[in-house]
Amino acid sequence: MRIRKKKHLAERLDGVREVLLVAMRDIPNVKLANLDKRYIDFKELFLNEYPVNLEIGCGKAGFILECAKRNSKENYLAVELLENIIVMGAEKCLKEQVKNVRFFNCGAEYLPRYIKPNSISKIFLNFSPPYPAGTYENRRLTKTELVLDYKDYLIDGGEVLQKTDDKDFFEYSYNQFEKNGFIVKDISSDIESGKIENIQTEYEKKFRKLNMPIYVLSAKVNKE
């Protein structure tokens, strides 16, 4: 039974190859992978020079597909660790004929292999697993090593936008960005008041239904 399920997933992943640029099963361990650069030429990929944005931990990709539909003059890269989840987003992308999104099935740690420095305008971190501080902190998507990677990918003036329901994780991330030279702002109230456009993610919809507070930050990079 389990074997049949896996086989079915492999077929579905093959079916989305057109939009799936990186597949977890095709890459070696992270240290070897990041030494062997395979930078992606975005102009060649999207056939335009529009800004490129990145979401890490896209889940079923509802957020990024909506961003892409609303902003046809921007391009989007969606990164997700779990292949059974990313396949759903990639299938939706093909079904709805969204042309400005591509998917990476890998962990955030592998991205230095594919993303050139100074090439990304915005990075979205939406409801990344908060993992408790201490033992599991090393898995957080705002640990120092990754924050420095984000700084590297972003163009001058580029920005990380992070949403979470976890106050401790929000405060940790805020400090991490500030400590590493970003200009950080808590924009939670601007999102609530509608001053800044908000596209709700799958997790966000669930949390909002439960009236849970949502914390949002903007971390801008100044490279001059």
Contact footprint for ligand SAM (CB under 6 A): 56-59, 79-82, 85, 107-108, 126-129, 141, 201-204
29: helix, coil or strand?
A: coil
Minimum gap (Å) between residue 222 Cβ and ligand SAM:
26
Minimum gap (Å) between residue 111 Cβ and ligand SAM:
9
Q: Which residues contact 138 (CB under 8 A, 6 or more apart)?
A: none
- Contact yes or no for 173/137 (Cβ under 8 A): no
Q: Pick the closer one to ligand SAM by CB: 159 or 165.
A: 165
Q: Pick the closer one to ligand SAM by CB: 125 or 184.
A: 125
Tokens of 84: 């059974």
Cα(153)–Cα(135) distance, rounded to whole angstroms? 28
Partner residues linked to 215 by β-bridges: 164
Q: Pick the closer one to ligand SAM by CB: 83 or 159.
A: 83
Minimum gap (Å) between residue 137 Cβ and ligand SAM:
13
Q: Pick the closer one to ligand SAM by CB: 59 or 158.
A: 59
Taking residue 220's Cβ as centre, other Cβ atoms within 10 Å add up to 16
- The single residue listed with the structure tokens 């930078």 is 39
